[in-house]
Amino acid sequence: MKILIAGGAGYIGSVVIPKVLDRGYQVDVVDLLWFGNQLPKEVNIKQTDIFDLHEKDLEGYDQVIFLAGLSNDPMAEFSPAKNFISNASSTAYLAYIAKRAGVKRFIYAGSCSVYGYTVNELYDETKPASSNYPYGISKLQGEQAVIQMQDENFSVIAFRQGTVSGYSPRMRLDLIVNTMFKTALATGEIIINNPSIWRPILSIQDAANAYVRAIEAAPAISGVFNIASGNYTVGEVADYVKEAVEKKLKKKVKLNIKNIQDFRNYKVSVEKAMNMLSFKPAHTVESILDDLIDNLDKFKDFDNPNYYNIQVFRKLN
Ligand SMILES: NC(=O)c1ccc[n+]([C@@H]2O[C@H](COP(=O)([O-])OP(=O)(O)OC[C@H]3O[C@@H](n4cnc5c(N)ncnc54)[C@H](O)[C@@H]3O)[C@@H](O)[C@H]2O)c1
């Protein structure tokens, strides 16, 4: 099987791709390399924009995975116009040329942030998705664009991923668990803006397994799927981080709890992905922290701007 991954050199792609290669599939990547390249040598990388691809570039691929675009709220708010172009239009364009070129499946890296601010209710994929902020709106636009292209010859699997965390060779320290872990170590303090809001957390290892399940799902399967390892309150995540850093790294950590209103609050059900894709989350915030501790030597240079998407993006624009 031959797979093209757009945005494959990013945080998620750098963990997904070794797993996909391990299963014997051929992987090519299209990526602007904003954060460099830490992919295995056998991956053929084309440093180009999705918008510069043409239908003929997609010929011969069985599946295409979209992992590109602007991948958090600060980037989207820094440049809302580029956010909408990138997250809504580049997704639609890539799926459009993929379908025309005869690709059989398109897998989309969407986000649970499409749920915006919900009441304290477990959300499955049938619940209303709506957001008032550029990132959430654009991720929903991207999802809707690709989902409506599905038919009997073109399967579309659109993930709504929780906040991903854990170690990747292309590291990010701007994602909830990773950020708290870094600040606990760097400053001895975790600032909690609002301890009571809910977030689905997705271990990067569970995320990579979800992509493998999607690649290997029966051809008739299409749809939107929530993907998370579990739902946690932000206060609870901070407790796990404090405990792991104090017990395993012997550093005292203070919690600094504020009560700032947050515009996102949601918990999701992953039952559909479990039933239809056989996705079985195997990780927790505690095992994400073990992963971070085991790999700490590889990202101890906490000030490296590459670990913070907004810092790199500001320089590019
Ligand atoms: N990380 C998370 O917590 C999370 C959660 C939900 C959804 N997502 C989605 O998953 C995807 C991947 O996230 P990530 O954390 O790996 O992001 P990332 O920022 O680490 O990687 C994105 C990659 O895409 C590339 N890229 C961006 N625009 C491009 C374009 N037009 N053409 C070619 N390459 C382009 C960048 O160079 C980068 O390597 C994104 O679509 C993001 O919105 C991420």
Q: What is the pLDDT along the chain (317 residues), one digit of tens a residue?
A: 999 999 999 999 999 999 999 999 999 999 999 999 999 999 999 999 999 999 999 999 999 999 999 999 999 999 999 999 999 999 999 999 999 999 999 999 999 999 977 777 899 999 999 888 999 999 999 999 999 999 999 999 999 999 999 999 999 999 999 999 999 999 999 999 999 999 999 999 999 999 999 999 999 999 999 999 999 999 999 999 999 999 999 999 999 999 887 767 889 999 999 999 999 999 999 999 999 999 999 999 999 999 999 999 999 98
Query: Looking at residue 24, what is its pLDDT?
Result: 97
CA of 69 to the centre of ligand 1 (A): 5
CATH of the domain at 223: 3.40.50.720
What radius of gyration do the chain's Cα atoms show?
A: 19
Residue with CA nearest ligand 1 atom 30? 49
Q: Are 129 and 183 within 8 A, CB to CB?
A: no
pTM of the prediction? 0.97
User: Which one of 46, 67, 114 would you pick to mutate in the ligand 1 pocket, going by the greatest count of ligand atoms within 8 A of its CB?
Assistant: 67
Query: Looking at residue 261, what is its pLDDT?
Result: 79
User: Ligand 1: residues within 6 Å at CB?
Assistant: 6-7, 9-13, 30-35, 49-50, 67-69, 71, 86, 90, 109, 111, 161, 163-164, 170, 172, 175, 309
- State how far the Cα of 221 lies from the Cα of 136, in Å rounded to an integer: 25
For residue 25, what are its two tokens?
């599939």
Provide the number of structural domains found in the chain: 1
Q: Are 83 and 70 within 8 A, CB to CB?
A: yes
- State how far the Cα of 209 lies from the Cα of 257, in Å rounded to an integer: 34
Which parts of the chain fold into alpha helices (H)?
Answer: 13-22, 55-58, 73-78, 80-83, 91-100, 134-147, 176-187, 204-216, 234-249, 271-277, 285-294, 309-316
Query: Looking at residue 262, what is its pLDDT?
Result: 74
Query: Looking at residue 121, what is its pLDDT?
Result: 86
Q: What is the residue range of 93's domain?
A: 2-316
pLDDT digits (tens, 9 = 90+) for 191-200: 999 999 999 9
Burial code of 162-189, b = ≥16 C-beta within 10 A, e = fewer? Answer: bbbbbbbbbbbbbbbbbbbbbbbbeeee
CA of 26 to the centre of ligand 1 (A): 21
pLDDT digits (tens, 9 = 90+) for 44-58: 999 999 999 999 999
3-state helix, strand, coil in the chain (%, to 5): 40, 20, 35
